[in-house]
Amino acid sequence: MNEATVLSTVLAGLYIDGQWRAGGERLTVTNPSTEEQLAIVTGGDARTVDEAVQAAQAAFGAWSKTTGAARAMILRKIASGVAARREHLMALQSSNNGKPGFEAAIDVDDVIATFNYYADLAEAADGQQNRAVELPSEAFSARLRREPCGVVGLIVPWNFPMVTTAWKLAPALAAGCCVLLKPSEVTPLAELELAQIIAGSGLPTGVFNLICGTGLAVGAPMSAHPGIAKVSFTGSNAVGVQVMQRAAETIKGVSLELGGKSSLLVMADADLDLAVELASGGGYFNAGQMCSATSRVLVAQDLLEPFLQRIVAKAQSIKVSGPLEEGSEMGPLVNHAQYQRVINHIEAGKEAGAHLLCGGKRPTAQPRGYFLEPAVFSQVPLDSALWREEIFGPVLCVRGFSSEAEAIALANDTQFGLVASVVSGDSETADRIANALHAGLVWINAPQVIFPQTAWGGYKQSSLGRELGPWGMQAFQEIKHVVRAL
């Protein structure tokens, strides 16, 4: 894989009604490994949001009436277009996000799987439309229809830009909705490439529109626009609240995928090597910039000391380098703001009395770029920000527990509830704990594998609704019952 070509020209960041447009605002996109400018992308505003919504509304009539089979054909074309551009999309993710090659490959393959999965679902939906509903009366009959909810707004963050886009875009198109997508202003390059692929997929003009730009210039008017029936948002809780507030003005449907403060529970009968591997993956994948990061590691008291020794050794062995360097295991954080935010959390944690056992500083071999050595903390006070808030960086907080009940209570003691992991040698114990955890997805002795067939989303303040699986498509559909007197 080669470094994505540095784009010296200004890239048009608006795709509206089948046309690329330059827009007004100029957004600088940087390479987090070098701190150098990677591209300039133009952004939109409230006026262009309105134009895109009008184009999508004009396309909706015809697109909403296409069969699932017709939509499936286009979704599969997009999937194969992504597969054909796999190496280039990986390179863009490495240059713009700092993802090492193996992580960029996981992202692109997930996108392909997601489009193919929703192609299958769209096709299957044809056979289920107008399904008869059993009624307790012979005087009436009823049939059930699922219809696309209209023009939808998709707002995505920077940490898994392509994946988050695919999880929203594929089910929205499968459902028959028309779309306005807003990438993160930090990482728009992969979505711009995806838009080129979509433009060549045979999707009718106006069904898919994209506007790059900042949250205030583009995301805010999308959230409030009366022509958008639903907003599907992934990002921070603070912005999620603003999206919900603006959407309230027009009683718009909203689904939210927000933050997390998830736990990995290492039970007394756990395989310690496996626990260390899973803790490392759960804390340091994507440089810890994961809503699903299991940044709290709860370890049975008898295993605490050996676990700490091994996780520190593991953290210190991770190769932190430019993502395209041979053997790179962890790239930089996405930008200076994120780097500084994580450093601030680390400093505040130390001041609160937590023990930093390793990492948490710039690697000496990397004088430039937003690189951070993976950190392990112990003795983290339960009321500290380090323990309670989402860090979104390569930082693990390890704590001992003396009973299963205490471990579950510690894991559930957060306003979030996205995911959790359990490591145990006993399947009954692991199942019992999984059932007691307040989380939308629990992995047992497994890395954070995600399949399009299983739901994504969490409890409490982590989510509103679920993505992926049939739920991901239902989120973009209205339910209609037609009842007839016989």
Among 257, 261, 322, 372, binds ligand NAD (CB under 6 A): 257
Binding to ligand NAD by residue 97, rule CB under 6 A?
Answer: no
257 is catalytic: yes
Nearer to ligand NAD, 139 or 238 (CB): 238
Map residues 172-191 to x or -, x wherever contact with ligand NAD holds by CB under 6 A.
----------x-xx------
Binding to ligand NAD by residue 220, rule CB under 6 A?
Answer: yes
d(CA 49, CA 249) in angstroms, rounded, equals 17
Smallest distance, ligand NAD to C-beta of residue 265, A: 20
Which one from 291, 358, 373, 390 is the annotated catalytic residue? Answer: 291
Smallest distance, ligand NAD to C-beta of residue 231, A: 8
- Count CA atoms closer than 13 A to 445's CA, side-chain side: 14
Binding to ligand NAD by residue 239, rule CB under 6 A?
Answer: yes
Spell 433-443 as b/e; 16+ CB within 10 A means b. Answer: bbebbbbbbbb
d(CA 180, CA 173) in angstroms, rounded, equals 11
Smallest distance, ligand NAD to C-beta of residue 215, A: 2
Which residues make Cβ contacts (< 8 Å) with residue 50, sequence separation at least 6? 221, 225, 227
Among 148, 259, 393, 452, binds ligand NAD (CB under 6 A): 259
Binding to ligand NAD by residue 107, rule CB under 6 A?
Answer: no
* Per-residue CA distances from 124 to 173, 203, 474 (Å): 14, 20, 13
Q: HEC string of 301-315?
A: HHHHHHHHHHHHHHH
Nearest to 295 by CA among 262, 339, 272: 262
Which residues make Cβ contacts (< 8 Å) with residue 238, sequence separation at least 6? none
Burial (0-12, 13-18, 19+ Cβ within 10 Å), 47: exposed
d(CA 304, CA 115) in angstroms, rounded, equals 43
With tokens 């692929």, the residue in question is 197
Nearer to ligand NAD, 125 or 254 (CB): 254
Map residues 454-473 to x or -, x wherever contact with ligand NAD holds by CB under 6 A.
--------xx----------
Nearer to ligand NAD, 124 or 216 (CB): 216
Burial (0-12, 13-18, 19+ Cβ within 10 Å), 379: middle
d(CA 213, CA 451) in angstroms, rounded, equals 30
Specify whether the backbone of 72 is left (phi greater than 0), alpha (psi in -120 to 50) or beta.
alpha
Binding to ligand NAD by residue 243, rule CB under 6 A?
Answer: yes
Which one from 185, 193, 257, 373 is the annotated catalytic residue? Answer: 257
Nearer to ligand NAD, 267 or 290 (CB): 290
Smallest distance, ligand NAD to C-beta of residue 364, A: 28
Size of the site for ligand NAD (CB under 6 A): 32
Among 30, 95, 234, 461, binds ligand NAD (CB under 6 A): 234
Check: CB of residue 339 under 8 Å from CB of residue 333.
yes
Smallest distance, ligand NAD to C-beta of residue 247, A: 10
SS3 at position 185: coil
Binding to ligand NAD by residue 254, rule CB under 6 A?
Answer: no
Nearest to 151 by CA among 123, 165, 172: 172
> Most distant CA pair in the chain: distance in Å?
79
Stretch that binds ligand NAD, among 39-47, 210-218, 298-306, 394-402 (CB under 6 A): 210-218
Smallest distance, ligand NAD to C-beta of residue 331, A: 16
178 is catalytic: no
Smallest distance, ligand NAD to C-beta of residue 339, A: 13
Nearer to ligand NAD, 91 or 247 (CB): 247
In what helix (H) or strand (E) does residue 208 lie, and over which residues does it extend? strand 208-211
DSSP letter at 287?
G
Residues 386-415 interacting with ligand NAD (rule: CB under 6 A): 390, 392
Among 219, 282, 393, 394, binds ligand NAD (CB under 6 A): 219
Smallest distance, ligand NAD to C-beta of residue 243, A: 5
Map residues 134-173 to x or -, x wherever contact with ligand NAD holds by CB under 6 A.
---------------------xxxxxx---x---------
Smallest distance, ligand NAD to C-beta of residue 227, A: 16
Q: Which two tokens stand for residue 452?
A: 């399009």
Nearer to ligand NAD, 201 or 295 (CB): 295
Q: Which residues are catalytic?
A: 257, 291
Residues that bind ligand NAD (CB under 6 A): 155-160, 164, 182, 184-185, 214-216, 219-220, 223, 234-236, 239, 242-243, 257-260, 291, 390, 392, 418, 462-463
